[in-house]
C-alpha cells in the first residue's frame, strides 16, 4: 500500500511539471506574438517619416526639388511650349567640375593685386606652363612671363613685314637693320646675368628682362638700327636721328609699334628704348599707334 502511494505521488509530480513547462512555453509564445504585432504597428507609423527623409536625401543629391503648386504648370506660356529646365547636377559633380575648371590655365589672370617689388616684378612668381594671351595678343612683360621652354623662333610673318619696311625705308635713304630678334630663354639668361654683374640688378632691370620675361623670346620683338650708324644702336639718340624718326612714324604701317616709349617706364617697366619694336600686325599696330597708348594701356593690363 505504501509503495502504491509513492507511485501516485511521483506520477502526480511529473504531471504538474509537464503542465508547468507547457504553460511557460505558451506564455513565451504569446509575448513574442504581442511584440511582433507592436513592432509592425511602429514600422507602419514611422514609414512616412522614413520615406520623407529618403526623398529629401535624393533631392539633395540631385541638387533640385520638384516644383510645388502652380509652378508645376509653368511649362507653357501663351500656348507655346517652354524649354524644360535641365536638372541641376549633383553637388559632388558640381564641385568636381568647379575644381577642374579652376585647374585649367586661364587666358588672362589679373596681376594688379599681387605684391610687386621695386623693379616691377611680382615677388615669388613662378614661370607658367603656357604663354599668356590677352585679347588674342601674346604678352611678355614683368607681370606676365613666358614658359621656360617656350621657343617659337623668329616669327616669319614679322620678318617678312620688317623686310618690306626696310625696302621702303631705302627709298627714303635709310638702311634699316634688325640686329636682334628672337632670343631663347638660355640666351636671355646669359645676357641678363652679364648686365647684372656689370651694372647691378636694379639698373639692369630697367633695360634688360629677366629670363622668361623677355619679349624677344616671343620671336615678335625686333631691335632695329641703321646700317653704318652702329654707334647709335641701343641708344636713345637713335630716336632723334632721321632714320629713327622715320621708323617711329611709319612702323605701324607694317605692323610694328614702339614698345617702350619715352615717359612710360612706370607702365611698361622699362626705360625708353628707341630701337625696340614689337610686331602686332598692321590693324592692331595702327590702332595702338593712333591711341597714343602703350600696349599695356591699350589692353587694359596696367
How many residues are given for the chain? 302
Closest to 260 measured CA to CA, from 206, 212, 219: 206
Catalytic residue among 273, 290, 296, 297: 273
Closest to 105 measured CA to CA, from 60, 141, 144: 144
Question: For residue 139, what is the enclosing H or E element?
Answer: strand 137-139
Rounded to whole angstroms, what are the CA distances from 146 to 138, 215, 270? 10, 9, 17
Question: For residue 259, what is the enclosing H or E element?
Answer: strand 256-260
The SS3 assignment for 247 reads helix
Rounded CA-CA distance 236/275 in Å is 8
Region label for 193, one of left (φ > 0), alpha (ψ between -120 and 50) or beta (otherwise): alpha
The C-alpha cell 651694372 sits at 199
265 assigned to active site: no
Catalytic positions:
273
Amino acid at each position: 500500500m505504501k509503495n502504491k502511494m509513492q507511485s501516485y505521488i511521483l506520477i502526480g509530480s511529473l504531471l504538474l511539471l509537464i503542465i508547468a513547462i507547457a504553460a511557460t512555453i505558451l506564455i513565451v509564445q504569446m509575448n513574442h506574438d504581442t511584440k511582433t504585432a507592436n513592432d509592425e504597428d511602429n514600422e507602419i507609423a514611422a514609414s512616412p517619416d522614413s520615406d520623407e527623409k529618403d526623398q529629401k536625401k535624393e533631392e539633395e543629391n540631385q541638387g533640385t526639388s520638384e516644383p510645388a503648386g502652380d509652378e508645376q504648370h509653368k511649362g507653357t506660356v501663351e500656348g507655346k511650349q517652354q524649354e524644360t529646365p535641365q536638372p541641376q547636377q549633383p553637388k559632388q559633380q558640381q564641385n568636381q567640375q568647379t575644381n577642374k575648371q579652376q585647374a585649367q590655365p586661364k587666358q588672362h589672370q589679373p596681376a594688379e593685386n599681387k605684391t610687386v617689388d621695386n623693379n616691377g616684378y611680382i615677388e615669388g612668381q613662378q614661370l607658367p606652363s603656357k604663354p599668356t594671351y590677352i585679347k588674342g595678343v601674346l604678352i611678355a612683360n614683368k607681370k606676365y612671363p613666358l614658359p621656360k621652354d617656350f621657343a617659337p623662333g623668329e616669327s616669319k610673318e614679322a620678318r617678312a613685314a620688317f623686310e618690306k619696311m626696310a625696302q621702303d625705308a631705302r627709298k627714303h635713304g635709310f638702311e634699316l637693320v634688325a640686329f636682334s630678334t628672337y632670343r631663347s630663354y638660355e640666351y636671355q639668361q646669359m645676357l641678363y646675368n652679364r648686365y647684372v654683374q656689370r651694372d647691378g640688378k636694379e639698373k639692369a632691370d630697367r633695360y634688360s628682362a629677366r629670363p622668361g620675361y623677355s619679349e624677344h623670346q616671343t620671336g615678335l620683338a625686333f631691335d632695329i638700327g641703321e646700317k653704318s650708324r652702329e654707334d647709335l644702336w641701343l641708344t636713345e639718340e637713335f630716336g632723334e636721328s632721321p632714320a629713327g624718326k622715320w621708323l617711329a612714324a611709319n612702323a605701324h604701317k607694317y605692323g610694328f609699334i614702339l614698345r617702350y616709349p619715352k615717359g612710360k617706364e612706370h607702365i611698361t617697366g622699362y626705360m625708353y628704348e628707341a630701337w625696340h619694336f614689337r610686331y602686332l600686325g598692321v590693324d592692331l599696330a595702327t590702332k595702338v599707334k593712333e591711341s597714343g597708348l602703350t600696349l599695356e594701356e591699350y589692353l587694359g593690363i596696367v
